Structure formats: C-alpha cells, structure tokens
Structure 1
C-alpha cells in the first residue's frame, strides 16, 4: 500500500467539519499512572535512502523520491537539533539555494534527540503508533525503531506505551486472521522484546497500558462490528492482562461524528479501561473547540466517571494535508499562533480531564506536529508548497509548540493554574516560572565548567582516568574507554574551530567561521556544566538535574 492509499484509509475516520504529581522537566517520569500526564502520539515512520534500514528508500515523506509534485508532507521539520546520523539529502531540492535535507526515524540518534526534546519541554511520554497493516514492515526491520524508542525513553526518563492503529481495509480480512496477527505481535513485544518489563513502560492500575485505536468507526477501514471489537478488547484484558485504552470516534457516546450506528458498541465502550475519543479535524477554530467542550468533553467525562473509566481527550495544533490530498485546501485548520491548541488544552482540563494526548509529535503529513518545524517560508525548501509557522502572520520560533506543550504539562501536573489565556512567553525558563537561583560554579576532574573551551586534541578525563573525551581535529567529538569509542557526535569530516560549554547551558561545536555544526540543545539553562562520569556517561548537568546524556553508561 502506497502512502496515498494508506492515508485515504485513515482519512475515512477524519471529519473535517466546519467550526462547530509529575512535574514538567522531571528527570524521571512516574510511569505507574496515566493521571497527570501529557502524552504525544509518535509515528516514527519516516525513512530515507542510506539510513541503514533494510528498505533503503523513501517512506512517508513522499510518493517516490521527494519533489514538489510527490510530497506527502506540508510541514517542514527544523533539522537544526538533529545529529548528522539522522539526516539524509533530498536530491533536486534546496533551501535558499543549499541542499535540502530530511530525517529518518530509523537511526537511534533520532529517537534520542526527540525524547531529549520531550524531557527538555516537560512532555511526559509518547504513545508509539503501531499500524496493524505495517507489522510485517517493522518486523522485517527487527523492530529496531521501537527498541530505539524504548531505550531513549529509559535514557531520558520519559514513559511510553504501544498504540495499535487498527486502520486498514477490512473487506477481505477475517476476524480470526486479525486476532491471530494481534495476539502473535503482542506476545512478540511483551515476551521477546520485553517491552512491558521496561521501567519506562506506562501502566495504570498495576498493568501495562495498550491502546487500540480505530474501534467503532462506521466504515470498512476500521473495526466497525462490535462483536470483533469486544473480542479484541476481551483478549487484551483477560489474556494479555493489560489496561485497555480505546481510540474511538468523537461521537462514541452520542452517535454521529464517524461513529458506527450499531447499538452493540455501547457494551464495548463500557468495557474499556480508558476512553480516548478522536478529535483531529472535528472543529477548526476556538468557537468550535468551545462547542466540542460542551457537546463532547463534558458529557463524555460524565459518562466515563459513571463507568469508572479514565478519559484521555485528544488535542491538536492545527491541520493541513494539501500535498497529500491535492484537492484539500492549504492551511485547512490554522494554528492561530498556538491559541487554537491552548484553547483545547484549557477546555479539556476545565471540563475535568486529568491527562491529555497531543496529536502528534512528529506528524508532518497532516501538519499536526508539535516538534520543531520551519518557522518561516524561507527556512523550508524552495520547491513546492510548505506550511510554516509564519502562515498566520506571526513570527514564532521553531520550537513554539514544544514550549506550549511545556506549559500544558505544568497545568496538568498541577504546578500552575489552568487559565484561558495562552502564556505570552511559554517554555522552560519563561516568565511563567519563578526565577531559579544560578547554581554555584562547578570545577574539578571530569568537569568542563560553564564558559569554558575544550582544546582540540586534548582530552577531558574522568576522575578515575578510565574515560577520555576528545575533540578530534577531524571534527568528531569522541568518548573513549582506552582505545574503544563509546559515543561520538558523528561529525567527522567537519573543520573544527572550537567546542564550548557555553554560559547558556549549551555544549556547542563550531567551525572556524564560528558557525555551529553540533549542539547538545540544552540552551536556556545558565550555569550548566559538562561532566564525564566514572561510569562512562557524558552528562550536561544544571545542579543535579541531567539535561543531556550520551547514554554510554554503565561501564
């Protein structure tokens, strides 16, 4: 199935209607409960030639090789914080005359960077999307991406859970075939990969959470018969012994909004442990969000309370899939500079929700991504249509929606009051937080203090002398144990000018023209320092808080 066919299958569930105590940046998230969490949906489906994946081709960026006519994405990711190992060139496309690049989800460096961003911006974790139709593909890759994501969640203290997306063409799929595929795959994940044994795996009521997205939609591309839906839910609850979250239509309780009209679904919905109604595309402005609160959120929460269920509302920043669906308008649901997303977050919390899912983290196909994206049209490729953050007439940084997610997380964790007005300067270290006293200067063995350079070809040694960090003259920053490299910045071939542990908390490598080509992406933390620990881990700390790590412990 090509990307357009896949998205047409998913599109059947989307109604593009007219308007109708964890803490942010906690070092390790409490994975024992959904309550208080801000989660993101995470696709991880991008591939490109040369990324090391078995397919060695383009996936989900385009139909075939990327070009203005084949693009399947509207939003262009800001690649500045991704390491070289994650990036791939896009032949025939340029950004301000320079070669354009995209990223692959396959390298572990991509998972590490994205989960590092989640920690830096207070996002608790991710629901990792696992399309049933894609199981043969990801299994052929030996689930490398999924294992990278688990390791990144553990490394950066985030939580994660599997979300099966049941979207596919069911016209020729028997119930037994689907059940066998789901059962075998979950046993593979739980027993062979031991995902649920991870300390980062999200649980509720002492059991791992599994989300089943696509129950009760009234079309042939989802599970639309209640007997099959109940069979799936019952197996996961009784045999797999998990807490079942159901991804259901927005009209699951009252009907309509893509819901199946079969009354048998009421019993299926009542058997869910967590209800997650889909909202993306159901309204298009703040007034529509307010209607959704009155007509959907408030009645839903009353029903789930009566059923003793948890409720996970879905919020989204905007929507556009013009390149994927050529007849769809550009910038179909504008982001309004973040006010649209903030209104939904406020409404859900005001209605009584205790957790929320943001759709999505990396979804540039529908332009719902909240990770770093191009802020101005000039920062996107010269060829083709691109939706950038200045489309609504605002000058915003590329991480604006990560900053807003940080503030949403502070609301849902109870750190700050829920207010209808979006913070003017959101994000870590913003005016919404009381200023923290600067940490005392740090020095000694194994430490590169703030405002200090590491000389080229002269090592930083750990206190026990077993590990050395070298800024090599070939442009690569490498951590060694003896002669064995444990970690590197993957920047060999660059001409290095200097590496600085800056006063703003960012560790940065510059070329001789003072242009950065690698960074730890930890700016905004004045006084942070770099430590080479005796366990082999290289860590940027602010006081006792780890901001970034090489993940090379424990030796």
Structure 2
C-alpha cells in the first residue's frame, strides 16, 4: 500500500485550469436549440428566408479546376488580378479545405488561404452555419453557361447531402445570364428533365415545394436580353401537367410592373412567384444610400392581382471595385453596420407576404455575402471588411430577420441584437 500524500499545489491549479478551459469550450460551442435541430418545413415557401448560393469559386488542385475561378480574372492569382471584394473567414476550416494563395499573407504574417465551392466539407460547413443561425436554406445557382462543367452537378449533390444533414431546404435557381437566347429553352428544360428523371432531385425530402409542386427559380427574365416568346415558353413548360410541372419563381427587373411590351407583361403575370431584382437599386435619404423599397407595396398588390406571391430581394450592401476597377467606387453601397440590411427586412415584414430572398449567402465578388468574412484580409488584397463587427454578424442578422418575417418575434424598426 502506498502512503497517501496531499497533491501538490501546481497539480491542483493545472487541473482547475483544464476544467475551466473545458467549461469555456462547452459554453462557446453553444449547442443547437430544439428549434434549430428541427428540420425546416420543405413543403412551402411561406415563412421562408432563403439565400442565393453562388457556389462558383474554384481553386487550382481542387480536383475540378486548374484556375482561381471567380477569385481572379486570370488562371493565376495576384493582387492586381483579384475580382472579389471580401475575404472569407477560414478560421474554422480544416487544412484540406484551404488553398494557399501564392505571395499573400494575413497581417499577422501567416499564409493566406481561399476555399473551393466544390469541396464537400465546405458546403457542409455553410449549411451548418445556416442551421446554427436559423436560416432556412438556399436557392442553389445553376448557370446555363456553366452546365457543361461537371463540378456544378457535384455541388448540387453536396447541397442535397448537406441539406439532409442539417435539416435545411434547397431549390434550383437557373441563371440565364450570358446564354444564347435561341438555346435557352432547350438547354434549361433538358437539364430539368435530367434532374427529375435521372437524379430525382425534386423527390428529395429536403427539396423545397410550394402548393404541392417542386420550386424552380428562373433568374434573368429581362426584356432587353431576349424575346417574350422565350419567357412564355419556359413558364408554359413548367405549368404543363406532368412530371416536370413546378412552382415557378421569376427573377425579373425592378420595373416589371410597368413593362410596356404586352407579351412580357403577360409573361410576368403568369409566374407563380414574382421576385424583382433589387441589388443596387437605391435612393438617397439624409445623405445615406437607402434600398429602394417604396415600390414594394405596389409590386405586392400587382402580384396578388395576378394570383402570384411576391418575393422581395434584400441584400446587405454592395462593392465591386476589385471586379470593375476604381471608377466603380461610386457604386459602393455602405452596409452601415447592418442597418441598410435590416431596413429592407422591416419593409418586407410590413408587406405581410411572409417571405424574403437574401442576395447572397456567399457572393464576395460584389460584396453582398452574409457568411463569415474576415476583418483582417491580406494587405495586398484591397478588400472590404465588416469594419470590426464579428464575422458572423450578418448571419446573426439574417437569423433574427427570419424570426421576424415568420412572426416569431415582433416587428422591430431597429436591429434588436448587439454585436
């Protein structure tokens, strides 16, 4: 038998420090509440705050691409070639998700990294953030000009898995930008048939439905891009009885309601959900840029008259000087610590429609991202930041706004939380 001896004071202090650290870690981990753990109701668009999900960022050696796609205007990357305006916060990312940026370092001297949208763990992380902050899900972009790239199919599969794992919802958003007008209908409808028949995406329990049909978002229904015949053919295809029928959201111009071309006016009013693009649409008030939302009441009424829902677009700010050059500085829309963002949610809530579309979750090219962005980007990058606010500030604001939109919390003209 060993003789008992009292433990030494340094040992006790060490154990106490370990216990304190474990308690701090447990506290900071902030386990998900029962409400956050509950799956989002994927049977309706009502009560939803959905985000656009670009997922178009690629890095060399990510297994799908050999260039810094959407990070740089060239296959290589330099401070002069950057096309994005906000540097994502990768502090939570694993080593396999981070791609070293040659010649750039963070202010503390450590190597700078970016991420690839095709990485399964990164998409899973983004969806975990949505779950943690109470964001319902995403409209995942499918750009017609990029459908030949297998990586977009890979991303859609990762989105499906991540939505299942986190109880979020998702739907496909076709972006028509830059695609030849005479091929839009055939390309889009062929892809939708393939998604329905072969990959059975719309049968996924996490795929968003509305009025008993899968939701499809068609963005870019603009009269200056192609004829009204194209728009009508697309909408009619999705309204035909059969396996490809869907509830159609249309991404339309802000002046859709006053369109003079009667064929286009008719096409807009055949949509099931009307969503005018509002990014960059501002007015000056008291020396500040304010999102132009005063037309929403008339838009909402016109949509109702046509038998459609109205899905307002809200965004946190705007900046694309790295993408467009110094002369684009005049286009910058300051975030005002989140007030610009919150004012739009208040306007959306007052409509009574019970839904909103956030542009965007991950769009750092135009600085409309709401996900985690670092306040300490590389000096060479000339990036905008959240100006000292926590990197999750806009995720928190979106989650708070979602509760307000759903009626879980009362309308608040001012931001109800603090950084």
TM over 0.5: yes
Deviations 1:357-416 (A, max 9, x none): 1100000000000000013xxx101213110111xxxx3101100010110011112110
Other-structure match for 1:325: 324
1:291 Cα offset (Å): 7.5
Matched, 1:163 2:173: yes
The correspondence for 2:80, drawn from 59, 69, 77, is 69
Larger mean Cα displacement after TM superposition, 30-39 or 188-197? 188-197
Matched, 1:27 2:38: yes
Matched, 1:119 2:116: no
1:66 & 1:83 partners in 2: Cα distance? Answer: 22
2:360 & 2:151 partners in 1: Cα distance? Answer: 23
Matched, 1:420 2:413: yes
Other-structure match for 2:92: 81
- In structure 2, the CA distance between the partners of 1:366 and 1:237, relative to structure 1 (3 Å rule), is same
1:193 Cα offset (Å): 1.5
The correspondence for 2:237, drawn from 219, 235, 242, is 235
The correspondence for 2:248, drawn from 244, 249, 263, is 244
8 Å Cα contact 1:343-1:420 kept in structure 2: yes
Deviations 1:327-385 (A, max 9, x none): 2107710000000000000011112221001100000000000000013xxx1012131
1:124 & 1:178 partners in 2: Cα distance? Answer: 30
TM-score (structure 2 length as normaliser): 0.87
Other-structure match for 1:102: 114
Q: Which has the higher contact order (CA 8 A, sep 6+)?
A: 2
SS in 1 for 2:112: strand
SS in 1 for 2:374: coil
Deviations 1:47-86 (A, max 9, x none): 1012122x23211001122211100001110111222222
TM-score (structure 1 length as normaliser): 0.66
- In structure 2, the CA distance between the partners of 1:112 and 1:340, relative to structure 1 (3 Å rule), is same
2:283 & 2:100 partners in 1: Cα distance? Answer: 35
Other-structure match for 2:153: 143
Deviations 1:70-118 (A, max 9, x none): 0000111011122222210001111122211000011100110000000
SS in 1 for 2:329: coil
- In structure 2, the CA distance between the partners of 1:201 and 1:100, relative to structure 1 (3 Å rule), is same
Other-structure match for 2:369: 369
Give the count of matched residue pairs.
380
Structure 1 runs (4+) deviating above 4 angstroms are: 284-291
Segments of structure 2 that go 5 or more residues without pairing to the other structure are 1-33
1:209 & 1:115 partners in 2: Cα distance? Answer: 19
Superposed counterparts of 1:293-442, under 5 Å: 293-294=293-294, 296-326=295-325, 327-329=327-329, 332-375=332-375, 379-390=376-387, 395-425=388-418
- Kindly indicate which of the two structures has a greater share of residues assigned to strand: 1
Superposed counterparts of 1:187-266, under 5 Å: 187-215=193-221, 217-219=222-224, 222=225, 224-238=226-240, 240-255=244-259, 261-266=260-265
Matched, 1:132 2:144: yes
Segments of structure 1 that go 5 or more residues without pairing to the other structure are 1-22, 256-260, 427-555
2:380 & 2:290 partners in 1: Cα distance? Answer: 38
- Kindly indicate which of the two structures has a greater share of residues assigned to helix: 2
2:353 & 2:82 partners in 1: Cα distance? Answer: 37
